[in-house]
């Protein structure tokens, strides 16, 4: 089996600081104010994808690689300052141990992240997660998650080599990408938001501390289903009332 891991919010508890520093880097690099909600509403939720969409909207022209350099460099500098010392506390509990366990059991492990390669490697180093023998695929060459995941699978030898590929992630964008690719998905919800459950993810764990539970989740995982649309307000009450309505007396 090949297990692909997302990074921020899945292996690392860096999702909050990542958004905050990304917003700050945007302001520092371009003098532009953006909000997290605006970033999360973009079509491609990756460091590159968000930047391209927001800059194209602000500047009114197609974005080229050179346009992203100031943001990339400033974001990395902010991360260096914010994550100045290594700390196991940056890991979602059990993250490093479960990756080691998977490899020890003969499974392949890779990381497919929507972040940039340099910032992803910095965060992993600060969290004391070794990348030795673990391939990392980031957004530098592909701004959308489906392409990042596909490149990661192909780089690891493909489904034919491993028989089964499961993606482990935490965000709505991870759910959308695995649904589009029909990849089995295991959700991680270390902060207890229950967002993934509402999006149709059948297998959601808090963290990796129970290795047995996680391994069973990998075996049982299926691609995310489409979430059930919420019922309009009042529908349930009207249906209940209709069941108790007196029968018609027409013809009496």
pLDDT for 240:
46
How far apart are the C-alpha atoms of 153 and 147, rounded to whole Å?
10
Q: What is the pLDDT of residues 18-33, one digit of tens each?
A: 999 999 999 999 999 9
pLDDT for 252:
34
Q: What band does 133 get if pLDDT is binned at 50, 70 and 90?
A: confident
Name the nearest CA neighbour of 29 among 37, 21, 39, 19.
21
pLDDT for 248:
39
pLDDT for 227:
65
Q: Of residues 236 and 186, which shows the higher confidence score?
A: 186
Q: What is the mean pLDDT of residues 113-124?
A: 98
Q: How far is CA 29 from CA 13, 69, 159, 223, in A?
A: 25, 9, 41, 39
Q: What band does 128 get if pLDDT is binned at 50, 70 and 90?
A: very high
pLDDT for 235:
47
pLDDT for 36:
94
Q: Is the pLDDT of residue 39 over 60?
A: yes
Q: What is the mean pLDDT of residues 63-87?
A: 96
Q: What is the CA radius of gyration of the chain?
A: 22
Q: What is the pLDDT of residues 85-109, one digit of tens each?
A: 999 999 999 999 999 999 999 999 9
- Looking at residue 64, the DSSP 8-state letter turns out to be -
**How many CA within 13 A on the CB side of residue 20?**
7
Contact 129, 95 (CB under 8 A): yes
Please give the biggest Cα pair distance in the chain. 85
| Least trusted range by pLDDT, from 26-30, 39-43, 230-234 | 230-234
How far apart are the C-alpha atoms of 18 and 31, rounded to whole Å?
19
pLDDT for 234:
54
Q: What band does 9 get if pLDDT is binned at 50, 70 and 90?
A: very high
pLDDT for 158:
87
pLDDT for 238:
46
Give pTM, 2 decimals.
Answer: 0.87
Q: What is the pLDDT of residues 155-212, one digit of tens each?
A: 998 888 998 999 999 999 999 999 999 999 999 999 999 999 999 898 999 999 999 9
């Amino acid at each position: 089996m090949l297990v692909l891991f997302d990074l921020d919010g899945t292996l690392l508890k860096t999702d909050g600081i990542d958004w905050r520093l990304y917003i700050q880097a945007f302001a520092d690099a371009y003098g532009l104010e953006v909000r997290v909600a605006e970033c999360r509403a973009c079509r491609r939720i990756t460091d590159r994808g968000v930047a391209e969409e927001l800059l194209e909207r602000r500047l009114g022209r197609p974005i080229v690689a050179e346009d992203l350099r100031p943001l990339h460099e400033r974001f990395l500098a902010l991360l260096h300052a914010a994550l100045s010392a290594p700390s196991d506390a940056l890991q979602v509990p059990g993250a490093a141990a479960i990756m080691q366990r998977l490899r020890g059991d003969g499974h392949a492990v890779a990381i497919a992240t929507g972040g940039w390669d340099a910032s992803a490697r910095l965060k992993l180093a600060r969290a004391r997660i070794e990348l030795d023998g673990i391939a990392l695929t980031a957004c530098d060459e592909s701004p959308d998650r489906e392409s990042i995941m596909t490149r990661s699978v192909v780089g690891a030898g493909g489904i034919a080599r491993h028989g089964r590929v499961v993606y482990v992630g935490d965000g709505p964008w991870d759910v959308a990408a695995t649904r589009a690719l029909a990849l089995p998905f295991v959700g991680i919800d270390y902060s207890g938001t229950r967002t993934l459950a509402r999006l149709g993810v059948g297998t959601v764990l808090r963290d990796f501390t129970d290795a047995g539970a996680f391994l069973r989740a990998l075996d049982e995982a299926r691609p995310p289903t489409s979430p059930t649309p919420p019922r309009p307000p009042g529908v349930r009450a009207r249906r209940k009332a209709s069941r108790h309505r007196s029968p018609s007396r027409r013809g009496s």
